Amino acid sequence: MAFRGRLDTANDFMLHGWAHSDDLPDLPVHIDIVINQKLACKLLADCYRPDLEAAGLGNGRKAFWFNPSEYFTEVENLVEVYFSDTDQLLDNGRKIIAPLSAKGDDSLPSLVSQAKSRWRGDEPDAGLTWGSIMTGDSFFDEVEKHFQFTAYTRILEIGPGYGRLLKTLLDRGHPFASFCGVDLSKARVDKLRRQFDDDRIRFEIGDCSQYKLSQSFDIGLCSATFEHLYPSIEQTLVNLRAQIDLNGMLFVDFIMHDENLSLSRAYFEEESIGGAYIRIYSLQELEPLFNHAGFAIQAAHPVVLGTGLQGETIRRMLICASARLLRRAKAESLMD
């Protein structure tokens, strides 16, 4: 068999790459993930990636994502990715990963920009929430159990979209000192600036993985957005932790595939339905991701955001996390 493939990204939480057979170009290929010389997983590389289709690799369903963290037993872990049942490694397929310290060699800047491209546009409001306009009521029902708003509260919202959460915050009459909404889309930020005329409220164009606020915040809110951050939420969490006050809290909802949040998966949607990057996190991967960034998960609440255009119930898992003290080494690295 003539195989081709590459391990593009390798870090604590993600092994990502692609595998292809020139002999059977339209069929997906199995790979073997071997960690510290033991077979961790046999995986079908069948996730869609638009750049692979554009490169002529069959139908583009050739990518794989895998979270290796639970297989790490050593300070330095040897990861090898083979075409299944062969001794042929993928290109770049042998890596040493040291948990907590390793940074991925993300060699795919085009995918970073592909993952953002849908959100930079100006699609109709309902398109941002499953084809229906929704409120933030179920989200705030849970937030209110953990956080007391005061006249001094400084709020950050990531990806405010059409202002769904902010409208509920105002409708419920919560006090606050300032609200900053950071969104990738200039068109949406322009609309939000026109819609909310209040001295305490402002909107900025920015990417949540890098955006620096002019002041720290006490509560961070984010709905229906973290699953679109490529390749993972890790960088955004670290960026937010560096700007939140110590007693601050973060409320973020995630795709709830099942009640236990047991599924881990990542893929790009087909261009014809928006081309978005979607990552489904398991609770097992969310806990260390929050923890390493300096947050402690306090609770996970299932919430129903509303009903989509096709009549489907939109179930999410709302993670409530508090900023925790960082160990010295981590705190120093955040200040770099």
Q: Hey, is 63 helix, strand or coil? A: strand
Cα atoms in the 13 Å half-sphere on the side-chain side of 150: 5
Q: Does 294 bind ligand SAM (CB under 6 A)?
A: no
- Tell me the pairing of strands 313-323 and 295-307: antiparallel
Pick from 9, 138, 168, 223: which binds ligand SAM (CB under 6 A)? Answer: 223
Stretch that binds ligand SAM, among 29-37, 41-49, 221-229, 314-322 (CB under 6 A): 221-229
Closest to ligand SAM by CB, 90 vs 319, is 319
Closest to ligand SAM by CB, 16 vs 118, is 118
Smallest gap from residue 225 Cβ to ligand SAM (A): 4
Pick from 228, 257, 265, 324: which binds ligand SAM (CB under 6 A)? Answer: 228
Minimal CA–CA distance to 136: which of 170, 92, 112, 104?
Answer: 170
Closest to ligand SAM by CB, 60 vs 160, is 160
Q: Which class for 239: exposed (0-12), middle (13-18), buried (19 or more C-beta within 10 A)?
A: middle
Q: Does 119 bind ligand SAM (CB under 6 A)?
A: yes
Q: Does 164 bind ligand SAM (CB under 6 A)?
A: yes
Closest to ligand SAM by CB, 184 vs 321, is 184
> How many Å apart are CA 285 and CA 277, to the nearest integer?
18
Stretch that binds ligand SAM, among 24-32, 78-86, 156-164, 237-245 (CB under 6 A): 156-164
Q: Does 159 bind ligand SAM (CB under 6 A)?
A: yes
Cβ–Cβ < 8 Å for 139, 251: yes
Closest to ligand SAM by CB, 11 vs 223, is 223
Closest to ligand SAM by CB, 10 vs 156, is 156
Q: Hey, is 183 helix, strand or coil? A: strand
Q: Does 250 bind ligand SAM (CB under 6 A)?
A: no
Long-range Cβ contacts of 330-334 (<8 Å, 24+ apart) = 330/292, 330/294, 334/238, 334/241, 334/242, 334/294
Stretch that binds ligand SAM, among 64-72, 98-106, 183-191, 254-262 (CB under 6 A): 183-191
Q: Does 161 bind ligand SAM (CB under 6 A)?
A: yes
Sign of CA dihedral 38, 283, 46, 50: negative
| Nearest-10 crossing angle of helices 137-146, 164-171 | 60
Q: Does 17 bind ligand SAM (CB under 6 A)?
A: no
> How many Å apart are CA 30 and CA 43, to the nearest integer?
5
Stretch that binds ligand SAM, among 34-42, 46-54, 104-112, 177-185 (CB under 6 A): 177-185
Minimal CA–CA distance to 176: which of 196, 200, 158?
Answer: 200
Q: Does 188 bind ligand SAM (CB under 6 A)?
A: yes
DSSP string, 200-259: TEEEEE--TTT---SS-EEEEEE-S-GGGSSS-SHHHHHHHHTTEEEEEEEEEEEE-SST
Pick from 14, 52, 143, 158: which binds ligand SAM (CB under 6 A)? Answer: 158
Please give the radius of gyration of the chain, using alpha carbons only, rounded to the nearest integer.
21
Q: Does 203 bind ligand SAM (CB under 6 A)?
A: no
Smallest gap from residue 282 Cβ to ligand SAM (A): 21
Q: Does 321 bind ligand SAM (CB under 6 A)?
A: no
> How many Å apart are CA 13 and CA 152, to the nearest integer?
37
Pick from 182, 249, 293, 321: which binds ligand SAM (CB under 6 A)? Answer: 182
Q: Does 261 bind ligand SAM (CB under 6 A)?
A: no
Binding site for ligand SAM (CB under 6 A): 119, 128-129, 158-161, 164, 182-185, 188, 207-209, 223-225, 228-229
